[in-house]
Structure 1
Amino acid sequence: MNVELASARQRKPQQVVEALLAKIRSGDWPVGSRLPSEREIASQQRVSRNAIREALVALQLSGYIEKRVGDGSYITHTEISGEADGDAGVLAGMGIAEALEVREALEMASAFMAIRKATRSDLLKIDAIVAELEEHLERDDFRAYLVATLDLHIAVAAASHNPFLAKQVTELTEKHRDDQWLVQQRYCPEIAAYSLDVHRALAQAIRNRDPAAAADATQQHYHDYPALKAHGRYQNPSAAFRSALPSPHRREKNP
């Protein structure tokens, strides 16, 4: 294991990742086997279930496991193109995973403030980025799409007209711009379409000045990050979230 990954041991989720990777790479948990439940792993590792969830997101992003809705997590690979490459993916996955909870809180606040303070110019900028997202997916350019989703979150924060909040969201988002290669590796048209619906719903909620819809879209974005695969299907949005979704692949008119 490389020095960078070994030096990441101070945080509990990172300790859990290391412990689970040891079992995966040793063959104790072969491909296709089901991981113990979050509760069991938390008890074994003597950490909180939040730490377990963060560790599992990192392993899912890096390609070692697949989380199936209502059915737990399963091993998909015991090695990722050599240990060095696998460690790079795990490090990037941990970086993304550890920021998700903070990003959700900050971006929820951004959305609420944008609903109150966004100008017509702000809304036009947000709409323009949504149109850009659609164009990237029409070309199956997942890398450009993922980078543009970050731009959308930064634009929403800017629309809050709170300099401190905008600075925090921008800095946290930019920190992980270079890690999008990892998410891109797991992308497919179905995940991308689901992601586009979530981002459209967020933009529509801000345009409609609808805090409940904004909360649903933000929670859906982070609770399903990355989209959870279940036998070829993805987790259905909540009823409230579904009501906020525009029709698939239909662009909204500018305000």
Structure 2
Amino acid sequence: MSANSAASTAKISAALGSMGQGSVVSEVAERLMAYFTSGDIAAGTRLPAERQLAASLGVGRSAVREALAALEILGIVIVRPGSGTYLRDGVSELLPRTLSWGLMLGEPRTRELVELRSGLEVQAVQLAAARITDEALDRMRANLDAMEKNLDNLAAFVEADAAFHKEIATSSGNQVLQELLQSIRSLLRIWVDRALTDEGHAAAALAEHRTIFEALESHDAAAVTNAMASHMNTASRRLLAGYDAAQ
């Protein structure tokens, strides 16, 4: 490490200060975000390693890792594999957005985000029922096939699940709704990834998605509304169960 890099690392560590062992991921993210957007650190600066940030803040490395993942989603930092994590340029322009979304990283905002996502998913599928194309339905059919083939590979299952929902959002024809859903899904990513814990959950989720697909294929607004509302109810319970277990 160069002298300048070492000095930068020391400066960042000193500025952050210790948080104590009881801190949660959201608090770590907010502390990092507040400092990174303060103007005291130059764009393009390479951040200290996870272990150094964890030691400076007095928290575990997993909390720092998840906080940095959230800040990457928000556009505050960029991760360059094999090189490190860097502060992005133009962060000051993102400040209003990042402060707004950053407040949603912890309890009770997680529950409120889950509640909001449910309503937006229902609205998206209602719009998609009237606007979805045959090409989009074909892609969703492929998503369902991928989910069925990966009931024992939960990471791949979740990826196909996300693609299915993204197709619905796109088919809604409402760009604002699409972007809101994408932002919310990104902020909930950690808990969504943990929501499915076994093949039984995956099989139940697959059945729910098939019901949604069949209603979309028929362009039946009432049926698709009921199907998505039912799916969001069970999906939200699974997600919050994983969240509660981690607290």
Q: TM-score, normalised by structure 2?
A: 0.52
Does 2:16 align with 1:2?
Answer: no
RMSD between aligned residues: 3.1
Counterpart of 2:119?
Answer: 105
Q: Please state which structure has a larger fraction of its residues in helix.
A: 2
Structure number with the bigger relative contact order (C-alpha 8 A, sep ≥ 6) is 1
What's the CA shift for 1:168? 1.4
Instruction: Give the structure with higher Rg (CA).
Output: 2
Counterpart of 1:21?
Answer: none
Match of 2:129 among 115, 120, 129: 115
Is the Cα–Cα contact under 8 Å of residues 110 and 188 in structure 2 kept in the other structure?
yes
Which consecutive residues of structure 2, in runs of 5 or more, have no partner in the other structure? 1-20, 29-58, 67-104, 239-247
Q: 1:93 to 1:214 in 2, by over 3 A?
A: farther
Does 2:163 align with 1:151?
Answer: yes
Match of 1:197 among 207, 224, 235: 207
Residues of 1 paired with 2:107 and 2:145: CA distance?
28
CA shift digits 1:66-122 (9 cap, x unpaired): xxxxxxxxxxxxxxxxx9699899x88967533221111111111011111111111
Residues of 2 paired with 1:209 and 1:222: CA distance?
19
What's the CA shift for 1:209? 0.8
Which consecutive residues of structure 1, in runs of 5 or more, have no partner in the other structure? 9-82, 229-255
Aligned residue pairs total 149
CA shift digits 1:184-210 (9 cap, x unpaired): 4xx222221111111111111111111
Residues of 1 paired with 2:126 and 2:188: CA distance?
23
Residues of 2 paired with 1:213 and 1:200: CA distance?
12
Q: TM-score, normalised by structure 1?
A: 0.50
Counterpart of 1:216?
Answer: 226
3-state SS of 1:150 partner = helix
Residues of 2 paired with 1:160 and 1:226: CA distance?
21
Does 2:189 align with 1:177?
Answer: yes
Is the Cα–Cα contact under 8 Å of residues 26 and 106 in structure 2 kept in the other structure?
no
